[in-house]
Amino acid sequence: MSSPSKRREMDLMKLMMSDYKVEMMNDGMQEFYVEFNGPKDSPYHGGMWRIRVELPDAYPYKSPSIGFVNKIYHPNVDEMSGSVCLDVINQTWSPMFDLVNVFEVFLPQLLLYPNPSDPLNGEAAALMMRDRTAYEEKVKEYREKYAKPEDVAGAEEVKSSDEELSEDEYAASDDEEIAGKPDL
| Residues with Cβ within 8 Å of residue 22, at least 6 apart in sequence | 12, 15, 16, 32, 33, 34
Q: What is the pLDDT of residue 154?
A: 64
Q: What is the pLDDT of residue 156?
A: 55
CA torsion 68→50→69→8, rounded to 10°? 70
Question: Which of the following is catalytic: 85, 89, 99, 147?
Answer: 85
Which residues of the chain, if any, have pLDDT below 70? Answer: 1-2, 86-88, 154-184
- Is residue 85 part of the annotated active site? The answer reads yes
pLDDT tens digits, one per residue of 78-99: 999 999 986 657 777 889 999 9
Q: What is the pLDDT of residue 86?
A: 66
| Full-model pTM | 0.78
Burial bucket for residue 18 (CB in 10 Å: 0-12, 13-18, 19+)? middle
